[in-house]
Chain A
């Protein structure tokens, strides 16, 4: 790596971002050292750009330009605006954990309702109070890239959740990220540990308070799922239309796990969800599904790496993108099958629906197979709505937009159907419906 070349104008501006932020970042000693090293790693690479293969469709140097200074900790006024925004995104019977501008806010959260077998703490609290040396690992991940390094350097807060072995949560945990700040960075990092044989449902929402503009979210979620556990995760991204959201999810999954992941990107100006999922125990069933609903000039990138490290696991990925106006959807899916991972069954299917001539969809499926007794496959399509179906519906009395909406709903329904939880499936469907109604 040529250090001199990588150090661009953008890179130099960043040094000052870190220098300014340093005093506000929780953790001293080894934690602070780890942050500094992470920042140096970021600085060496700079913002990812199109010459980095993994980022070729999402050039953050062009789309993001610079990393903005960290958002201030929310004051009373900001919390009031956050409270208002939360009202529209409450999920019945879920326990909300609320992060406002990158700070965990206990008074907006609902920790007590979760009951026994669950421990929830703020990352800031852990980093400041649990001994700096012991908890530096919270800022380290095996998988890394420039944006994950930046996250480790600048994460101000997050939640650290541990569900004890054998605990079945009766309520979903709902992590809500509310942005009230404008032209600022919001950097959060959360750790979720699902114990052996535990069962949990995790929902994550990204929302903007009224008036929040042009902010940049960098979120990381480090998730470990113990043997025999069941986890459903639903992520709903509804950031402001000129916001940037880069989220990295790093999952390590044990044996005989049932893991059901779903993401819906409907908001944001520029977004990238990158998932790195390692199947490290045999007999696990993984389902990863996603929907991108993009219009205007939105750019939505979903990148998922599923690493079959052991034999006898199944992975299924279904992605649907609806792309209108001049929006741009990206799906990159990589399935890795390690030499020992015999009897792997891994499939991914991605389809994009282009609603305008200027809409763009890029699909990059990759299979890296090093074992010889496996079933793997992928498929990708991109195209417009079928004219013959549209005419049939119109001949039955549906106006053009309604006919389109019905077909689009069916199209994204194929991915939404895969959500295990009935209530969350309906919730995701209603988000899609609202998007379609807004379009009509």
Chain B
């Protein structure tokens, strides 16, 4: 059974159709890249999979491990193993990062009927992951993402990904706002999480990120549909020729 199956998905936002029958199948162990110009619907797809309010699904379906994802609340999806690394992670003043991480992790475990993490185990785990991502301890004491640089916010997303151990990671424009060093640290963090039990969907505008996170499958999106799929060489091809050739195909 595929991990994620998107079938003929049609989505509207405020009366305007953004996705016009998008289909996508992702298996465990794979890394898929979704590329496409601005406005092609890449972020809409990631939001709909994560369950963000404000999108109206008018047709099609999304199955996650064979279950109807669209019937689930965002928190249920998270507990099932869906993780969206946000393009713009929000700042939450007054909620300490550690408190947030523990509350979220335990909420997911509770929803799955698992026991809560003990404090020492939790702290040990967070410290290990934080160290590998070059996240200083004092950052964990601050409010969630408050005063973090763009790179720090993205690393905080990857920290959560490592901590929550989702089976599907969707990385929405992870490279936006990152310089080359920050990008490398973030990509190393993501690569460390690649596993036969986990799939990743990397959404990006630029080929650059895919030098660091090498995909198994590349999809090109245009005007709310996948217009071409191929191997990693498709990304290089796009870098050469641009998206213009697909505008008409859509």
Contact with B95, one of A386, A395, A410 (Cβ below 8 angstroms): A410
A402 to B73, CA, bound (A): 13
Least Cβ–Cβ distance between B47 and chain A, in angstroms: 9
Do A406 and B74 have beta carbons less than 8 Å apart?
Answer: no
Given the contacts A397-B79, A406-B95, A388 and B90 also touching, CB distance less than 8 Å: yes
Q: A392, B92: Cβ atoms under 8 Å?
A: yes
Q: Is A398 an interface residue (CB 8 A)?
A: yes
A273 to B99 alpha-carbon distance, docked (Å): 33
Cross-chain contact B107 with A397 (CB below 8 angstroms):
yes
Given A394-B74, A394-B78, A399 contacting B92 (CB threshold 8 A): no
Q: How many of A's residues come within 8 Å of B, CB to CB? A: 23
Q: Known contacts A400-B73, A400-B75, A406-B103: does B92 contact A394 (CB below 8 Å)?
A: no
Cβ of A411: which chain B residues have Cβ within 8 Å of it?
94
User: Is A210 interfacial (CB 8 A cutoff)?
Assistant: no
Nearest 5 pairs of A and B residues by beta carbon: A410-B94, A397-B108, A397-B78, A394-B74, A396-B104
Residue pair A398, B75 in contact (C-beta under 8 Å): yes
- B103 A399 Cβ-Cβ under 8 A: no
Give A contacts to B, CB under 8 Å.
Answer: 386-389, 391-400, 402-403, 406-407, 409-411, 413-414
User: Are A392 and B95 closer than 8 Å at their CB atoms?
Assistant: no
A398: nearest chain-B partner, CB-CB: B107
CB pair B164 A396 closer than 8 Å: yes
What are some 25 contacts across the A-B interface (CB < 8 A)? A387-B53, A388-B90, A389-B90, A392-B89, A392-B90, A393-B100, A393-B104, A394-B51, A394-B74, A395-B77, A395-B78, A396-B164, A397-B108, A398-B103, A398-B104, A398-B107, A399-B75, A400-B75, A406-B100, A406-B103, A409-B94, A410-B92, A410-B95, A410-B143, A411-B94
Do A395 and B90 have beta carbons less than 8 Å apart? no
User: B107 is contacted by which of A389, A402, A409, A414 (Cβ under 8 Å)?
Assistant: A402
Interface string of B69-84 (1 = CB under 8 A from A): 0000111011100011
Query: CA–CA, A411 to B143, complex, Å?
Result: 12
B93 on the A face (CB < 8 A): yes
Chain B residues near A391: list those with CB within 8 A: 52-53, 74
Interchain CA distance A406-B94 in the complex, whole Å: 9
| Residues of A with C-beta under 8 A to B77 | 395
Q: How long is the Cα–Cα vector from A397 to B110 in the complex, in angstroms?
A: 10
* Residues in B54-86 with C-beta less than 8 Å from chain A: 73-75, 77-79, 83-84, 86
- Decide if B111 is an interface residue (CB 8 Å cutoff): yes
Assess the A395–B50 pair: CB atoms within 8 A. yes
Given A391-B53, A395-B78, A410-B92; 13 other pairs, CB 8 A cutoff: A392-B90, A392-B92, A393-B100, A394-B78, A395-B74, A396-B100, A396-B108, A397-B75, A397-B78, A397-B111, A397-B164, A399-B75, A410-B93
B160 CB–A CB distance under 8 Å: yes
Identity of the chain A residue whose Cβ is nearest the Cβ of B93 in the assembled complex: A410
Residue of A nearest to B82 (CB): A395
C-alpha spacing A403/B75, complex, angstroms: 10
Report chain A residues within 8 Å CB of B100: 393, 396, 406
